[in-house]
Amino acid sequence: MPQYVLARHVFVCVQGEHVVFLDVRKDRYFALEAARTAGLGHFVAGWPVPAPRAVDFVRHGANSTALALEENADPGVLSGVVALLLDKGILTTDPEKGKPAEVTAIVPPHGDLTADAADEKLIIGPRLFLRFVIAAIRARLLLRHIAFETVVERVRSRSTLASSAVTEQKLAALVHVFTTLRPFFFAAKDACLFDALSLSEFLAAYDVFPNWVFGVQSRPFAAHCWLQLDGLVLNDTLDHVQRYTPIMVV
Q: What is the pLDDT of residue 150?
A: 97
pLDDT at 12: 95
Q: How far apart are CA 5 and CA 94, in angstroms?
A: 7
What is the reported pLDDT for 198? 97
β-pair type (5-7, 98-99): antiparallel
Average pLDDT over residues 83-106: 92
Q: Given the DSSP bridges, would you call strands 232-233 and 111-112 parallel, antiparallel or unpaired? A: parallel
What pLDDT shows up at residue 56?
39
Report the pLDDT value the prediction gives residue 51, as an integer from 0 to 100: 35
* Model pLDDT, residue 120: 59
Cα 163 from chain centroid (whole Å): 20
Give the list of residues 6+ apart from residue 100 with CB closer than 8 angstroms, or none: 5, 6, 45, 46
Q: Count Cβ atoms within 10 A of the Cβ of residue 65 and give its class: 0-12 exposed, 13-18 middle, 19 or more buried.
A: middle
* Residue 244 clears pLDDT 90, i.e. is over it: yes
pLDDT per position as a tens digit, 196-231 = 999 999 999 999 999 999 999 988 899 999 999 989
Alpha helices in the chain (DSSP H): 51-60, 65-71, 75-87, 126-145, 148-159, 168-181, 192-204, 238-241
Q: Distance between CA atoms of 182 and 80, rounded to whole angstroms?
A: 47
Q: Is the pLDDT of residue 7 over 90?
A: yes
Quick check: 165 and 197 in contact, CB under 8 A? no
- pLDDT of res. 140: 94
DSSP-based three-state secondary structure for 67:
helix
Section 130-154 average pLDDT: 96
Region 93-98: mean pLDDT is: 92
Mean of pLDDT over the chain: 84
The one-letter amino acid at 142:
L
DSSP codes joined into one string, 191-222: -HHHHHHHHHHHHHTTT---EEEEEEEETTEE
Express each pLDDT in 12-48 by its tens digit.
999 888 999 999 999 999 999 888 887 888 888 888 8
What is the pTM for the complete model shown?
Answer: 0.84
User: Cα-flanking dihedrals φ and ψ of residue 225, to 5°?
Assistant: -145, 155
Is residue 189 pLDDT above 50, yes or no? yes
Q: Are 11 and 22 in contact (CB under 8 A)?
A: yes
What pLDDT is stored for residue 129 in this prediction? 96
* CA dist., res. 110 & res. 209, Å (int): 18
Domain range list for the chain: 5-99, 111-249
